[in-house]
Structure formats: structure tokens, C-alpha cells
């Protein structure tokens, strides 16, 4: 459950940060931020659905791709149509890859990998916010 809250927190912080400072973000930076938010959030949700809750792989893939599409739209909408398109594509890619990895994780190392993903999410969020301020 903590892992799901980390994904939700990352996603909300990323989308709010992009939306609140859209005038300060260049189009290229906005595209990268939208791609990062959509890819990482849908990838992590897919891993969680497939590894932790043992969903059917097809259902986990459909849910994580749908989530990635939504986040891609929300993160890219304030910037430009190209940022929205990049976010959509990255959400599809992350949503398709996450459940595959989650289904292949052995039960013994699954917990450690989920903590690694949480740390990766927080690191990328920190770097994205820092980079956004520099652009």
C-alpha cells in the first residue's frame, strides 16, 4: 500500500508542479517532464498490479496503460499538444512494460525491487523539480 501511495504522490506532485508553472517551462522541458511523469507512474503502477496484487497480466496492462494515458494528458496539456502527445506515448510504453516486469519478478526479491522503484521515483521527482526551476 505504501508503494501505491508513493506512485500517487509522485504523480500528483508532478502534474501540479507542471500545471502551476507552465509559463516558466520551455516546450522541450515540458515534453520531457510530461514523458517522465507518464512513463514512471504507469510503469510503477503496472509493476505493482502484476507483482503485488497478482492481477491477470492483461488486466494489469490495460489498467496501467489507461493510467499512463490519463497522466500523459494531464501532464502535457498545460504545455503544448506535442507535450501531451509525448506524454501519451510514454504512458503507453510504461504501462506496457511495467506489468511484464512485475509478472517476472520472483517473490523473494519483489519487495526490494519495489523499494528501489520508490527511491527512483523520489529521485526523479526531485531532479525534475530542480531542473524545472533551472529552465
Per-residue pLDDT tens over the stretch 36-91? 999 999 999 999 888 877 778 999 999 999 999 999 999 999 999 999 999 999 99
- Give the CB-side neighbour count of residue 126, counting CA atoms within 13 A: 6
Helix (H, G, I), strand (E, B) or coil at 21: coil
Query: Which three cell numbers, joined as nine digits, stand for 19?
Result: 500545471
Is 0.75 surpassed by the pTM of this model?
yes
CA pair distance 128, 116, nearest whole angstrom: 18
Amino acid at each position: 500500500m505504501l508503494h501505491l501511495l508513493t506512485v500517487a504522490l509522485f504523480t500528483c506532485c508532478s502534474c501540479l508542479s507542471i500545471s502551476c508553472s507552465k509559463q516558466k517551462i520551455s516546450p522541450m522541458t515540458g515534453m520531457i517532464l510530461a514523458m517522465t511523469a507518464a512513463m514512471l507512474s504507469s510503469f510503477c503502477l503496472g509493476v505493482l498490479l502484476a507483482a503485488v496484487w497478482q492481477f491477470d497480466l492483461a488486466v494489469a496492462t490495460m489498467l496501467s496503460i489507461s493510467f499512463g494515458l490519463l497522466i500523459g494528458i494531464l501532464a502535457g496539456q498545460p504545455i503544448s499538444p506535442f507535450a501531451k502527445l509525448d506524454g501519451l506515448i510514454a504512458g503507453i510504453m510504461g504501462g506496457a512494460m511495467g506489468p511484464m516486469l512485475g509478472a517476472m519478478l520472483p517473490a523473494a526479491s519483489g519487495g526490494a525491487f519495489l523499494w528501489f522503484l520508490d527511491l527512483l521515483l523520489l529521485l526523479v521527482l526531485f531532479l525534475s523539480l530542480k531542473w524545472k526551476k533551472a529552465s
